[in-house]
Amino acid sequence: MRIAIGRVFAELNHFSPVPTTLRDFEAMGIYYADEIFQHSAEVWEIDGFLEEARGARDVELVPTMSARAMPSGRMDAETHDFLKGRCLEELRRVGQVDGILLALHGAMSSDDEYDFEGDLLATIRGEWGENTPIVVTLDHHANITHKIIQAVDALAAYHTEPHLDSFETGVKAAKIMFATVRGQAKATIRWRKIPMIASGNLLAPEGPLGPFFAEAEEYEKQEAVLAVSIFPEFPYADTPELGWSVVAVTDDEPGLAQEIADHLAKGIWRKRELFLPEGRPSPRQAVEQALAIDGGPVVLGDYGDNTAGGATGDSTAVLKELLGRELGGKAMLTIVDPEAVIQAIKAGVGEVVTMEVGGKIDTLHYQPVEVTGRVEVLTDGRYSSLLGETTMGSTAVLEVGEIYIVLSELAGPNVDPGIYRSVSLEPETAKIVLVKSAFNFRAYYGAFAKGMMVVDSPGVTAQDLPSRADDYQLAPRPLFPLDEDTRFEI
């Protein structure tokens, strides 16, 4: 069997003032044909496809294209047209295939299309027909739509937060695809939408989502159940089909699939209050609590400026609280500020400069802060993180007393220590490390951090969703927790 594989992946925030362009995908890498195999890492879904195919003599995986971008605002129409058009072009290039296996995100949108994945999959289904199986993997922050469900034979999504099982998710999807093509299974998909969004504790397996994923995995042990996926969705999207979903895929048992989806959906709805934001420290409280901890590093997750959720990365909220304090060690943080980087480059390494940093992109939530410091490092921003090859664009490190500010042209995947190590800073030696991440950083800093906490900070990924209820113009209402009168019945 010949199976076409590919990936188009980005999580796009409708409230971000920064549009996602083709340059953002180019920064993370757009690869074609065999280039995909050359640039794959063992944590991604495509590697799961490859692993499952290795032991199957009757399987040929045919690579098409892979495109990935850092989360930011919605794509412009030109970028949407390019990605969709090139994906279709590459699928056509490989010729006759027995199936199409794709790694998608599920929260991509553009100025002219709120449901990128659904639109792409519907077009593929229309051109390749009902007899070509289509199986996809999705981030569990995907927003499931009718178009997605109608276009695919099956889907599988992550079961963990932070996302540590993308490889396993790829293996699961490949198993379903190969069994379908061999005639060993008839994938049947059913789903249930839940009128809720959430920005609270979504950690899994240790958080309140854990028991539901555990139940999903118990269902998957049944011979007739191929995949059960829970989607807490991406709350920073304003779309007509916004809301949590549960999707079940069985081997030709639609009644069982619907029963599973409905059962899990009802349980999640009953426990909906558990997914509301917990009381978290403000930037000031977080810095004070970090300084009270003996040793370091203490890692602070900047919830409101979470670049992994599409925030701008130019918050000054924590920097303001660090300045003027005796820290007793190094503090490391990142700020996206192309203008400040240019100033640092003009000054040169070793020079002392006074400049305003941050607060120039998301001017609604942040203000620039004036600092005086020494330019320590200048780089092109290219580095290899645990999430793969990437770039921050031109990058400078400014030493302001005990504070080391990594200034960059672009937002990098600020969840693991690689972003600091790329500019010769070692987080393990720091007192305080700020990461632009809500949860995922725990997987990468947990081995050596003396403390970790999430900061209730301002920004386009801030946790207090009801306070921005008026920002949701397209979302179906009522919607929990934006509306007190939300009801859910099956």
Residue with tokens 């480059």: 345
Inform me whether the pLDDT recorded for 444 exceeds 60. Answer: yes
Write the single-letter amino acid at 132: T
Q: What pLDDT is recorded for position 278?
A: 79
The better pLDDT of the pair 308, 271 is held by 271
Question: In angstroms, rounded to a whole number, what is the distance separating the alpha carbons of residues 105 and 152?
Answer: 14
Residues 282-309 have pLDDT tens digits of 999 999 999 999 999 999 999 999 998 9
Give the domain ranges of the chain: 2-275, 283-463
Q: What is the dihedral of CA 118, 119, 123, 125, to 10 degrees?
A: 10
* pLDDT-above-90 percentage for the chain: 87
Of 190-194, 213-217, 248-252, 415-419, least confident by mean pLDDT is 415-419
pTM of full prediction above 0.75: yes
CA angle 159, 162, 166 (to 5 degrees): 55
Question: In angstroms, rounded to a whole number, what is the distance separating the alpha carbons of residues 420 and 155?
Answer: 36
Residues 149-166 have pLDDT tens digits of 999 999 999 999 888 899
Average pLDDT for 221-246: 96
Q: What pLDDT is recorded for position 337?
A: 98
Average pLDDT for 386-393: 76
Inform me whether the pLDDT recorded for 42 exceeds 90. Answer: no
Cis peptide before 481 (omega within 30 of 0): yes
Residues 346-377 have pLDDT tens digits of 999 999 999 999 999 999 999 999 999 999 99
* pLDDT-above-70 percentage for the chain: 98
Q: What pLDDT is recorded for position 202?
A: 79
Question: In angstroms, rounded to a whole number, what is the distance separating the alpha carbons of residues 12 and 71?
Answer: 5
Q: Provide the token pair at 162.
A: 């932070």
Inform me whether the pLDDT recorded for 27 exceeds 90. Answer: no
**Residues 484, 276: contact at Cβ < 8 Å?**
no
What is the DSSP annotation of 351-408?
-EEEEEES-SS-TTT---EEEEEEEEEEE--EEEETTEEEE-SSEEEEEETTEEEEEE
Q: What pLDDT is recorded for position 387?
A: 61
What is the pLDDT of the chain when averaged over all its residues?
Answer: 95
Q: Provide the token pair at 404.
A: 């080391």
Average pLDDT for 430-447: 92
Where does the pLDDT of residue 237 fall: very low under 50, low under 70, confident under 90, or very high at 90 and above? very high
Average pLDDT for 401-429: 94
Q: What pLDDT is recorded for position 32?
A: 96
CA R_g for the chain:
23
Inform me whether the pLDDT recorded for 391 exceeds 90. Answer: no
